[in-house]
Chain A
């Protein structure tokens, strides 16, 4: 059974059709990269998968494991194991990272019909996850993302991912706004979370992230469709030649 199976997916934002028939299959443990020029529909794809309001699916289907993903609310999708690492993690004033993450973690436990974790139990879990990632859990004492640097925000996303242990992680332009040192740190975190079970969908404009997170498959998204699929070498080809020939202008 595939983790994710997207067939002929069409989606609108407002009146505009952005996704125009996407087909994509991801197996357990696979890392797929979706690359594309600005405006190709990359972020729309990630929001449609995560279930954001305002993104209207007009045709096609998305199966996650054996569930019709499009039938679920955003929070239900997350609790089934879909995790979206945001391109621009949102600042949430007044809510500490610890409160936020514990609420998220317990939501999953409730969803699965299990007992909630108490504060001490959860603190231990977070500390050990942070340690595995070579991070400090200090940032969780502060309000979520408030005043964080670009690098801190992205690392916070990775720490959340480590705690919530998704089956499918969607990384939306995780490299944007990062210098090379921060990029390496974040990529190390992502690599530490790769397992034979966990699948990843990496959405990026630039090839450089893929120097650090090696994908099994690379797809080129342009004009709302996957134009070409291949292995790692496709990313290098794009790096050399750009998206000319895919964006409909060339």
Chain B
């Protein structure tokens, strides 16, 4: 064990206890191996320093000084339904990173999707194999991945059969529960050739819980497939959420990603997409809503490694009170990725003098025949809009709510799945009432 690197931080005690834990779990040597490797890698890399360009605006110092503990129990027998996406869909529930069968319901999932958790090792050898296989891939400079490995609590392996097409979304619900518990989960998705499926993730907590949640997703989208991947990050307001989604997209496939982040004292959603073949459409969009002293980081990286593909990235956020938003978006175009069509836009609406957005849109282009554009705007609600609504009888508070709702509605409209679009639009509207405009609710 290499604990001598860096000053001993309370978080390290937690990592050490996590790496000792798997011995009790009868999950085989491979899990211990992942955890140990992760721990060693993490101690070697250390916490991401603000000196690293991609961590300049999000500081994890406070997290490193917080003492977490392993979840002692998963005895939560009821979902905190008001915190998760209200959708009637097959769902798989993770409590503190571990699969909870009693709360899951996969009866309507259909025969084209296989879902295995690594707690079910008797039947799902293949899942274990894939998990281990992916987990040992070297990922340089990604301490979040190493940390995720080091405290790994649970994983899902989702395999979508080639050609399987379904309108029924699959809802992955990850719930944090307890006082200063830390956990991590991994989600592996393999979308077979020409398959079409929508995945939905809710990350939330049971009321009053404080936790650290780390989630790493690895997604493979095979040729001609279409994967909708939508995430509602609604963790409790004392919790920390660090997520990293890595997607590899093959020829003529479509990846439609949307992250709506509204929860947690600190959250970072990092989405990295690699376009490996021509004809791909890759959409990485998101909406965020920050109030009180929330810190919300959206970091994206879209890599065009093949010609003739299209990427689109639109983020819109609303920040009130002392909330801080971070947007880092990069489109990287390799020399061979001619005819790339890339678009990137981040807009933020600041509702208070104390709110802040750090916005860094970037293009890095090594091909000469491409069409790429990017931009960023920051603004406030405009007086002329407010007056127009008031002149129609709408009171100031409702006018503000309508305008903010419209502002976020524009980016929610980017979601390609109609069902998810309508659902998240309702979720956003309710959240705005709850978090920003409580007074107009009371009539």
Q: Give chain A's interface residues, CB within 8 Å of chain B.
A: 50-54, 73-75, 78-79, 83-84, 86, 89-90, 92-95, 99-101, 103-104, 107-108, 110-111, 143, 160, 164
In the complex, B390 has a CB within 8 A of chain A? yes
Cβ A78 vs Cβ B391 within 8 A:
yes
Cα(A103)–Cα(B390), bound, Å? 11
Q: How many angstroms between the C-alpha atoms of A60 and B390 in the bound complex?
A: 24
Q: Check B388–A86 contact: CB distance below 8 A.
A: yes
Nearest Cβ distance between residue B18 and chain A, in whole angstroms?
44
Beta-carbon contact of A94 and B393 below 8 Å: no
| Contact pick for A107, options B388, B398, B405, CB 8 Å | B398
Interface string of B385-423 (1 = CB under 8 A from A): 101111111111011001101111110000000000000
A104-B392, A104-B393 are contacts. A94–B387 as well, Cβ < 8 Å?
A: no
On chain B, the residues within 8 Å of A89 by CB distance are 388
Residues of B within 8 A of A83 (CB): 391
Could you write out 30 A-B pairs with CB less than 8 Å apart? Answer: A50-B391, A53-B383, A54-B383, A75-B390, A75-B391, A75-B392, A75-B396, A75-B399, A78-B390, A78-B391, A78-B392, A90-B384, A90-B388, A92-B403, A93-B407, A93-B410, A94-B403, A94-B405, A94-B408, A94-B409, A94-B410, A95-B403, A95-B406, A103-B402, A104-B389, A104-B393, A107-B393, A107-B394, A143-B406, A164-B392
Q: In whole angstroms, how far apart are the Cα atoms of A101 and B443 in the complex?
A: 19
B residues near A (Cβ < 8 Å) are: 383-385, 387-396, 398-399, 402-403, 405-410, 443
Report B61 CB to chain A, min CB distance, Å.
37
B393→A78 contact, CB < 8 A: yes
Given contacts A94-B409, A95-B406, A103-B402, contact A164 B391 (CB under 8 A): no
What's the least CB distance linking B110 to chain A, in Å? 34
The answer to whether A52 and B387 touch (CB under 8 A), given A95-B403, A103-B402, is yes
By a CB distance below 8 angstroms, the chain B residues around A100 are 389, 392, 402
In the complex the two chains form, is B406's CB within 8 Å of A75's CB? no
Scoring B387, B398, B443 by chain A CB atoms within 10 A of each residue's CB, the highest score goes to B387
A28, chain B: closest CB distance, angstroms:
21
Residue of B nearest to A82 (CB): B391
> Within the assembled complex, what's the spacing in Å between the Cα atoms of A249 and B223?
76
Using A75-B395, A93-B407 as known contacts, list a sample of 11 further A-B pairs with CB atoms less than 8 Å apart, ordered by residue number in A.
A73-B395, A86-B391, A90-B388, A94-B408, A100-B389, A100-B402, A103-B398, A103-B402, A104-B394, A111-B393, A164-B393
